[in-house]
Amino acid sequence: MRRHFTDLAVSFSCPIYLTLGNHDFYGGSFDEVDRIVREFCSTYPHLIHLGHGEIITLNSETALIGHRGWADGRAGLGSQSPFRLNDQRLIKDLTDLDTEALFQKLGRLGDASADYIRTLAPKAFSRAKNLIVATHVPPFPEAALYQNKPSSPDHAPFFVNVALGEALLEIAAAHPEAGISVLCGHTHHGAWYHPRPNLTVKVAHAAYAAPAIAEAINLTPTGISPRIADT
């Protein structure tokens, strides 16, 4: 991870806003990895790790907030799922937990992201009418695809952040005049889900060992223009 952060920092001088995903924590703990990221961001101020109260004004109409989020274990079969991700073997905070303790931990992680976005979004809307929310895990089962279908009930608990989805629906209902775009990944399968007229979720396709730009967004002085490039 250090190498990738260094490559980003020295290759680009523009601001880079980032959230972490589950793979970033493999071989470590949440606290250990967060400490490493803090050190990089203090060394390279144009790296901004979202999730610490930032409201980024992108233009007069658009603001950016973000939180890494986490799959909260509530989708599909929930705690009845026999499936496990490598997360439960490779992230220190999630190892050696029985089923009850694991799903309690996942629930707390999902709730933390939902509470964060629920608290910060109204403050962002005091500055802009359009909001971009960056996170890692899709907030709705319909956006968590595998082979172009929603994740199976046994996999879904580990690929959906239900708590964040509920928070986003509340925010969209409270701000019907606003436009909310949620950018996420995690599933490695591209998806576009439109649960409300003013709420859109985009999930980027990804391939192992092949990082790529998923989308280029053209920010006009007063808003976001249509998508202009995909790879």
Domain boundary assignment for the chain: 52-230
Task: Give the pTM.
Answer: 0.93
pLDDT of residue 226: 41
pLDDT single digits (tens) 189-218: 999 999 999 999 999 999 988 888 888 887
* Alpha carbons 164 and 138: distance in angstroms, whole number: 9
Give me the chain's average pLDDT, please: 93
Neighbours of 34 (CB within 10 A): 18
Question: What b/e string do you get for 86-121 counting C-beta neighbours within 10 Å, with b at 16 or more?
Answer: ebbeebebbeeeeeeebbebbbebbbbbbebbbebb
* Alpha carbons 173 and 54: distance in angstroms, whole number: 23
Confidence bin at 1 (pLDDT 50/70/90): confident
Q: Is 152 helix (H, G, I), strand (E, B) or coil?
A: coil
Distance of CA 229 to the CA centre of its chain: 21
Q: List phi, psi (to 5°) of 151.
A: -55, 145
**Cβ atoms of residues 93 and 24 within 8 Å:** no
pLDDT single digits (tens) 14-28: 999 999 999 999 999
**pLDDT score of 181 more than 90:** yes
And the tokens for 13?
Answer: 């001088």
Where do the DSSP E strands lie in the chain?
Answer: 16-18, 47-49, 56-59, 62-66, 130-134, 145-146, 149-150, 179-184, 191-196, 199-203, 215-216, 219-220, 223-224, 229-230
And the tokens for 10?
Answer: 């020295």
Give percent of the chain with pLDDT exceeding 90: 84
**pLDDT score of 223 more than 60:** no
Ramachandran sector of residue 191 (left: φ over 0; alpha: ψ -120 to 50; beta: rest): beta
Q: Is 22 helix (H, G, I), strand (E, B) or coil?
A: helix
CATH code for 52-230?
3.30.750.180
Cα angle for residues 7, 10, 12 (degrees, 5° grid): 100
* Alpha carbons 207 and 21: distance in angstroms, whole number: 14
